[in-house]
Amino acid sequence: MLSLQDVAGQIVNDTKKRADAFFYQQQYPEALSLYEEIFEQKGKASESMLLKMAYITERLQDYPKAIYYLYCYQQRLPNRENLLYIEELANKYALEGHDLTDRSYFYLIYQQYYTILVGVFTLICLLLFYTFVIKNWQQRLPTRYGIVIVLIVLIGYVLFNVVALPQKAIIAEDHTLLMQDASSGAPIIEVLSKGHGLEVSGQQDVWLEVSRGAQKAYVKRSKVYLLKPIF
């Protein structure tokens, strides 16, 4: 007897097959509707599905969504070529907030080798701790050696648990207002067209606190495509 999970999985597979059939028949709006149903309601989008969704939305001139799906793909399989294509799309439509900066490239490497870095760092910490215990048992070591080990562990904790790629938001609609405060009555800082990228630093009710260059501002959550934080 099938469980509810098995039934749900079968429904997703059937929906995906129908979407793929529409895609290969170049019936893109129909395919996109089914892909988005899986992505938004089931949360089961694969990497290949995200690329198909990006391809379709770009063909349909919905470039903010195309960039959004490419970022979603980037979170699954980080690679420099994908970031460069996002930057190319942004340049094509004169969009800001999607530049491949040194920081974004650093985070790309950080994402790619995160598991390896954690493993290597854990091994180093264990070796240091083991060496410290053995040496301290054989001969009394100065306190500074223990302090150094504690500092290394703290640095590792910060790097692997605190450091995170800033959450990204992409303006979904033209004439989106950036406000000075989290209120509809606050002064307007800027009116943005769709597709521009913003870095999110917090949320207050229906408002996202964002960065536009060096300036802090607020935008309504309903006006953007919001990527999930990576770590």
Please give the residue that has the higher pLDDT: either 196 or 4: 196
194 and 172 Cβ atoms separated by less than 8 Å: yes
Span 92-112, pLDDT tens digits = 999 998 887 666 667 767 766
Beta bridge partners of 215: 212
Residue 210: how many other CB atoms lie within 10 Å: 25
Task: Check pLDDT > 60 for residue 1.
Answer: no
Chain mean position to CA 205:
21
User: What's the CA gap between 24 and 18, in Å, rounded?
Assistant: 10
The pLDDT value given to residue 115:
74
Task: Tell me how far apart the alpha carbons of residues 157 and 149 are, in angstroms, rounded to a whole number.
Answer: 12
Task: State residue 100's pLDDT score.
Answer: 73
Give the Cα separation of 39 and 216 in Å (integer).
31
Residues 22-46, mean pLDDT to the nearest whole number:
89
How far, CA to CA in Å, does 142 sit from each of 36, 114, 130, 133?
61, 34, 16, 12
| Comparison of pLDDT for 187 and 140, the residue scoring more | 187
Lowest mean pLDDT among 15-24, 46-55, 155-164, 196-205: 155-164
Q: Is 216 exposed, middle or buried (0-12, 13-18, 19+ CB in 10 A)?
A: middle
- Across the chain, mean pLDDT equals 83
Strand partners, 225: 170
Residue listed under structure tokens 């790309």: 108
Confidence (pTM): 0.77
Residue that wins the pLDDT comparison between 77 and 188 = 188
State the pLDDT at residue 96. 92
- Rounded Cα gap, residues 120 and 54, in angstroms: 36
> What pLDDT is attached to residue 231?
44
Nearest Cα residue to 47 out of 73, 17, 86: 73
